[in-house]
């Protein structure tokens, strides 16, 4: 991703906090994930690479210092870390003097021997899933189990790629080195670079007998049940990240699982931040004289006192019956009062109303 601005890819300013970086990545990852309708695999890879760099303190420091050429995998800058000048190499090539050096080893010297802040190993793919939960589960929290089809560690060989109990032998592809060296010629001369051996994945050894289940890959496509803890008070559309529950890769780290939560609407309650709102219809006589009403809440039946002379549209507040918050307390329940007027009055009722009218009510 040479010459690309990682901060710009995530829509961030330089100096963004770790939390801002994480939030920006989660939002874009859900938008562009290739498994989603309208996803963009190229864009997803770009933002994922940007996140891998900016979320790692050491890599971010190197990127902020040296810019797009911070990593040798991107070709490296013309002037290396620490002010090293490669003009001598260029001049030698221009005079037709071929030279060889291992780019990985060279840049590894500048970045504590880790190859310029590379990812430090293979990593499985992140995956996402959408779930729908009842309104009450979003308020109080719950646990859901979903069945996901993904690439996982082979249970038979435990990810080794070999039959259980079978030994290892030296990899014939890399001669046990774990690396394969490639020499390329250019107008600058001959360059020798090293890459991970695709046969042994850098170990230098392979099983004497490949696993009969996964064919030696160490991973296999399968269905897996995943338990998802729904935190109390979660909002509609929020994402839950389950670290290490994504797809597996042979002899590498697991990707992550992102769960987008959709909350079903409730026939009685609506959510307003940390509070709940519901409508309460009362009879005209109860509104005038006051009364007690039993209402069904998410916590069970509750008796509410209707004050004398309550008006249509007036809000009654019940403390502590709303949405749980991160601080351990709960919001409130608000009841919006409406007056039930009879569609037709009896003769006696009409006479009583007439009497009230005469009294100026």
270 has a pLDDT exceeding 90: yes
**Structure-model confidence comparison of residues 169 and 79, the more confident one:** 169
225's CB contacts (< 8 A; 6+ apart) are 145, 146, 147, 148
Residue 150 lies in a domain: no
The band of 189, judged by pLDDT with boundaries at 50, 70 and 90, is: low
Question: Residue 263 and residue 139: Cα distance in Å, rounded?
Answer: 10
Residue 99 lies in a domain: no
Residue positions counted in the chain: 361
- The domain spanning residue 294 has which CATH number? 2.60.260.20
End-to-end Cα distance, the chain: 78
Residue 143 lies in a domain: no
Question: Tell me: the pLDDT tens digits for 232-269?
Answer: 999 999 999 999 999 998 878 899 999 999 999 999 99
69: closest CA among 61, 77, 59, 79? 77
Residue 86 lies in a domain: no
- Residue the block writes with tokens 């998802």: 228
358 has a pLDDT exceeding 60: yes
The band of 70, judged by pLDDT with boundaries at 50, 70 and 90, is: low
Strands 205-207 and 275-283: unpaired
Question: Residue 54 and residue 20: Cα distance in Å, rounded?
Answer: 11
Question: Tell me: the pLDDT tens digits for 7-51?
Answer: 888 898 888 888 889 888 888 888 888 777 778 888 888 888 888
- Residue the block writes with tokens 């005469």: 358
Domain limits for position 318: 270-358
Residue 11 lies in a domain: no
Question: Residue 7 and residue 5: Cα distance in Å, rounded?
Answer: 5
Residue 188 lies in a domain: no
Question: Residue 46 and residue 1: Cα distance in Å, rounded?
Answer: 8
**Structure-model confidence comparison of residues 147 and 5, the more confident one:** 147
Rg, C-alpha atoms of the chain: 33
- Residue the block writes with tokens 């009685």: 268
Question: Residue 125 and residue 341: Cα distance in Å, rounded?
Answer: 61
Residue 161 lies in a domain: no
User: Under a CB-based contact definition with an 8 Å cutoff, are residues 224 and 146 in contact?
Assistant: no
Question: Tell me: the pLDDT tens digits for 101-139?
Answer: 333 333 333 333 333 334 346 889 999 999 999 999 999
SS3 per residue for the chain: CCCCCHHHHCCCCCCCCHHHHHHHHHHHHHHHCCCCCCCCHHHHHHHHHHHHHHCCHHHHHHHHHHHHHCCHHHCCCCECHHHCECHHHHHHHHCCCCCCCEHHHHHHHHCCCCCCCCCCCCECCCEEEEEEECHHHHHHCEEEEEEEEEEEECCCCCCCCECCCCCEEECCCCCCCCEEEEEEEECCEEEEEEEECCCCCCCCEEECCECCCCCCCCEEEEEEEEEEEECCCCCCCCEEEECCCCCCCCCCECCCEEEEEEECCCCCCEEECCEEEEEEEEEHHHHHHCEEEEEEECCEEEEEEECCCCCCCCEEEECCCCCECCCCCECCEEEEEEEECCCCCCHHHHHHHHHHHHCCC
Count of the separate structural domains present in the chain: 1
45: closest CA among 72, 11, 3, 6? 6
Residue 62 lies in a domain: no
């Amino acid at each position: 991703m040479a010459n690309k601005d990682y901060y710009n890819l995530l829509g961030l300013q330089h100096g963004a906090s770790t939390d801002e970086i994480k939030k920006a990545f989660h939002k874009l990852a859900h938008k562009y994930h290739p498994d989603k309708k309208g996803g963009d695999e190229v864009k997803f890879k770009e933002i994922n690479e940007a996140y891998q760099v900016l979320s790692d303190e050491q890599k971010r420091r190197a990127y902020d210092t040296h810019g797009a050429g911070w990593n040798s995998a991107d070709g490296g800058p013309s002037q290396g870390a620490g002010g090293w000048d490669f003009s001598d190499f260029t001049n030698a090539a221009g005079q037709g003097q071929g030279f060889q050096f291992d780019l990985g080893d060279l840049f590894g010297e500048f970045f504590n021997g880790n190859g310029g802040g590379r990812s430090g190993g293979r990593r499985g793919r992140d995956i996402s899933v959408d779930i729908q939960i009842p309104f009450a589960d979003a308020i109080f929290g719950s646990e859901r189990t979903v069945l996901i089809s993904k690439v996982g560690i082979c249970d038979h060989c435990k990810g080794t790629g070999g039959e259980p109990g079978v030994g290892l032998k030296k990899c014939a592809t890399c001669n046990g080195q774990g690396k394969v060296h490639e020499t390329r010629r250019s107008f600058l001369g001959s360059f020798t670079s090293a890459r991970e051996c695709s046969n042994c994945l850098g170990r230098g050894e392979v099983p004497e007998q490949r696993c009969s289940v996964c064919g030696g890959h160490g991973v296999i496509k399968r269905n897996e049940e995943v338990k998802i803890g729904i935190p109390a008070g979660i909002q509609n559309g929020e994402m839950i990240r389950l670290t290490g529950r994504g797809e597996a890769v042979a002899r590498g780290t697991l990707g992550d699982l992102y769960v987008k939560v959709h909350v079903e609407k409730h026939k009685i309650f609506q959510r307003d931040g940390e509070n709940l709102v519901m409508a309460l219809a009362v009879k005209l006589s109860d509104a005038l004289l006051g009364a007690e009403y039993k209402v069904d809440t998410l916590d069970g039946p509750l008796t509410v006192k209707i004050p004398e002379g309550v008006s249509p549209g007036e809000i009654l507040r019940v403390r502590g019956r709303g949405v749980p918050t991160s601080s351990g307390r709960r919001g409130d329940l608000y009841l919006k009062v409406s007056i039930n007027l009879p569609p037709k009055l009896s003769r006696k009722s009409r006479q009583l109303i007439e009497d009230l009218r005469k009294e100026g009510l």
